[in-house]
Amino acid sequence: ETGVTQTPRHLVMGMTNKKSLKCEQHLGHNAMYWYKQSAKKPLELMFVYSLEERVENNSVPSRFSPECPNSSHLFLHLHTLQPEDSALYLCASSQDATDTQYFGPGTRLTVL
């Protein structure tokens, strides 16, 4: 399936590194989301963008910085992360707010 793609699929980084996660949706949707999924925990919503405007920032530490340059692309910039930030980061998109969300395959991040 190529509706929502994410790169890279796996990322290992040190605590002093800066990296970016990329998400692209090919569905013509208006809203995009970043989620974090840690082991044995529910998905946690991090950020929501609607029509390129950020509409939700769920008390996420500033070491995570989202960017939405257009309605098809969403980035998550990472810097000075902590080992507890290791998780699966999932991007999703939906047509509108209450519509079904479609997920990308995720980026599995390990912070050493």
Partner 1 sequence: RKEVEQDPGPFNVPEGATVAFNCTYSNSASQSFFWYRQDCRKEPKLLMSVYSSGNEDGRFTAQLNRASQYISLLIRDSKLSDSATYLCVVNDDYKLSFGAGTTVTVRA
Q: How far is the CB of 106 from partner 1 (least distance, A)?
A: 5
Q: How far is the CB of 105 from partner 1 (least distance, A)?
A: 5
Cα 112 from Cα 109, distance rounded (Å): 10
Q: Which is nearer to partner 1, 5 or 65 (CB)?
A: 5
- Residues near partner 1 (CB under 8 A) are 31, 33, 40-43, 45, 48, 50, 55-56, 88, 90, 97-98, 100-106, 108
Q: What would the DSSP string read from start to end of 33-68?
A: EEEEE-TTS--EEEEEEETTEEEEE-S--TTEEEEE
Cβ neighbours for 40, distance < 8 A, ≥ 6 positions apart: none
Q: How far is the CB of 18 from partner 1 (least distance, A)?
A: 25
Q: Which is nearer to partner 1, 43 or 60 (CB)?
A: 43
Give the type of residue at 13: M
